[in-house]
Amino acid sequence: MNRRTMYTGLALALIYLLVHGLQAFGLLLSYHVQILSLACINIILVVSLNLINGFTGQFSIGHAGFLAVGAYSSAYLTVTFHTPFFVALLVGAIFAGIVGLIIGLPALRLKGDYLAIATLGFGEIIRVIILNTQAVGGARGFSGIPNYTTFGNSYLLAILTVFVIRNFVNSDHGRACLAIREDEIAAESLGVHSTYFKTLAFSLGAFFAGIAGGLFSHYLQYMAPTSGQIGFMKSIDILIMLVLGGLGNITGSVIAAVVLTIVPELLRGFAEYRMVIYSIILILVMIYRPDGLLGGRSLGYARLKNSIEGVKAHASHK
């Protein structure tokens, strides 16, 4: 184990212990821990969409459809068949990945705005199918879902998502996706099978969106086929987090997901002005930080070490 991995693991363990310590001493209420769980779910959603939009250069705005597949599939298994939670979560994620594959094969032959419209249409098709499926509640919603989502399992799965996607991006397959993003025609001329790699990234993103969906349904304990929960507006929420964090920046995606989960809750005291303030904050960030919160930079052990060495060097010159 190298030093970077060790320090990263220690930092993640300390965050987990800190949250539980603060909760044990009554400094964090159950409500606060639930918000942190939701932040972890949003991290999974944003990082998985970043693989499709940020690293592969495709424009998908139907990510909530895959969330819906994972949410309803896993909830149906736990409610109807009393399937163990993690088994139901895995089945829902696999189902979402298969749906992503089925949608990706025809849709990813399109580009730009046409792909965006196609993914939006597929996302709405999924929502309408759920709306008319009585086995999962239909229009009245799916209730009675057990509360299996905790901060512990959502935090662990968020870490797993970031780890897998980061390693995928740094692999040969990931470099092929980056080549497609930069110039698809040039990549194909060098032997990169663009349809295969775009579909692979789309399916992998859908798989992790399905995991987030399973956590989401067992967090809310009720799913409704509304636009704000599994439809177009939910997809736009995820896309806003992605753009705020920066396309192709995993660290930015994590920070943006946490910030945009917590900020609306902090503004609940300004109920009548909450969405106005939220919108103004987003507009200002987009004006002054168009490349995202971190731009092209990424936080990590190496960057932190270089910053500390720079400070020491500056201090020694004085």
Domains and CATH numbers, the chain: 3-317 (1.10.3470)
Render the burial of 117-134: b for 16+ CB within 10 Å, e for the rest.
ebbbebbbebbeebbeee
The span from the CA of 85 to the CA of 314, in Å, is 53
Q: Which of 85-94, 169-178, 210-219, 309-318 has the lowest mean pLDDT?
A: 309-318
Q: How far is CA 269 from the centre of its chain?
A: 27
- Of 71, 69, 68, 63, nearest in space to 47 by CA: 63
Does the pLDDT value for residue 281 go beyond 80?
Answer: no
* pLDDT at residue 313 in the model: 59
* pLDDT at residue 253 in the model: 94
Instruction: Give whole-number Cα distances, 30 to 37, 182, 207, in Å.
Output: 10, 45, 29
Render the burial of 252-263: b for 16+ CB within 10 Å, e for the rest.
bbbbbbbbbbee
Contact 196, 56 (CB under 8 A): no
* pLDDT at residue 7 in the model: 85
Give pTM, 2 decimals. 0.92
* pLDDT at residue 168 in the model: 97
Q: Which residue has the higher pLDDT, 307 or 168?
A: 168
Amino acid in position 197: F
Q: Which residue has the higher pLDDT, 288 or 163?
A: 163
